[in-house]
Amino acid sequence: MLGEFEIIARYFTRPAKSAGLGVGDDCALVASPPGLTLAITTDMLLEGRHFLPGADPRQLGHKTLAVNLSDLAAMGADPRWFTLAIALPEVDETWLENFSAGMFALADAHRIELIGGDTTRGPLTMSVTAIGTLPPGYALRRDGASVGDEIWISGVTGDAALALAHAQGRILLPAGAAALCRARLDTPEPRIGLGRKLRGIASAAIDVSDGLAADLGHILERSGVGAEVELDAVPRSEALRAAADPSLAMACVLSGGDDYELCFTAPPEQRSAVLAAGVAAGVSVTSIGRIVEGAALTLLDASGAIVPIARAGFDHFRPPQ
């Protein structure tokens, strides 16, 4: 059976590229990029909490890195380096092979380099720390939204939660829709290109990991503003529009986690720049409402009447109401 250092050498070591020194020493060494700000983020995935036992290892490798790249995207940062801390219950070479292939495929697509980590035995857990760079002053922070700004969302939200509802037997999707939604859940695409294009255009941004309403709520709280969102304007996938249970579908769109789309705000005069950023990044962007005074998130129906918010987003320490 492979030992710790053989696992690292075989599955987690590649020749250093932009790092001065990568895997293999007590620390990695990278040159501080002159004139740039570092953006640093950590996200952890636990078996049984963030993914089901027996999850496909290639997809897990993808998702472990994707959720961290999504945080860099939400800040508008360019991905540079990452570290991986992993606990494995046993040495399963096929599993390691696939996990590492899924992770490196996404890493190569976004030109981010694995420069170190830690490997130990324990309940299956992965924790990545990702480092990106930005020109100083250009980070897309949560606290930058102002009254009058438009609220935007990339892509569509709710598909990942719909896949989960299908997997748990709360809804039955046709096979094609189930597969599409499942891919959104298992292999989310971090919106790195869009985040980068939104630098200097968006006033605030967040990635939607806990549900659109909850994550937009974080922007509102940090910015000290309220929001009005037009429900009919919130984009939905084919699968969601066709879903048999419309109230469940709406709950997925507003409160479903794991979409990893970007929710952001921008002054109305930036509208054409936002649309151009979406085109350049190859992802749809939709205006769903506006920032208003106050602190509340108000949902409006087509007639302008207020719709009560059913359920907040996911919170690890609070059971769903």
Q: Which parts of 29-88 interact with ligand ADP (CB under 6 A)?
A: 84, 86
Nearest to 100 by CA among 44, 52, 46, 62: 62
Decide if residue 117 touches ligand ADP (CB under 6 A).
yes
Half-sphere exposure (Cβ direction) of 188: Cα atoms closer than 13 Å:
32
Number of residues that bind ligand ADP (CB under 6 A): 13
Which stretch in 24-32, 130-138, 155-163, 279-287 sits in contact with ligand ADP by CB under 6 A? 24-32
Which stretch in 109-117, 156-164, 167-175, 277-285 sits in contact with ligand ADP by CB under 6 A? 109-117
Which stretch in 110-118, 141-149, 219-227, 285-293 sits in contact with ligand ADP by CB under 6 A? 110-118
Decide if residue 3 touches ligand ADP (CB under 6 A).
no
Q: Which residues are within 8 A (CB) of 60 and not within 5 positions of it... i.e. 6 or more apart?
A: 45, 51, 99, 102, 126
Which of residues 61, 102, 116, 217 is near ligand ADP by CB under 6 A?
116
| Nearer Cβ to ligand ADP (118/293) | 118
CB 252 within 8 A of CB 168: no
Question: How far is the C-alpha of 278 from the C-alpha of 188, rounded, in Å?
Answer: 18
Decide if residue 23 touches ligand ADP (CB under 6 A).
yes
Decide if residue 118 touches ligand ADP (CB under 6 A).
yes
Q: Which residues are within 8 A (CB) of 44 and not within 5 positions of it... i.e. 6 or more apart?
A: 50, 125, 126, 127, 128
How does strand 78-88 pair with strand 113-121? Answer: parallel
Decide if residue 153 touches ligand ADP (CB under 6 A).
no
For the chain, what's the residue count? 321
Which stretch in 117-125, 171-179, 188-196, 294-302 sits in contact with ligand ADP by CB under 6 A? 117-125
Question: Hunting for tokens 């009058």 — which residue is that?
Answer: 148
Binding site for ligand ADP (CB under 6 A): 8, 12, 23-26, 84, 86, 114, 116-119
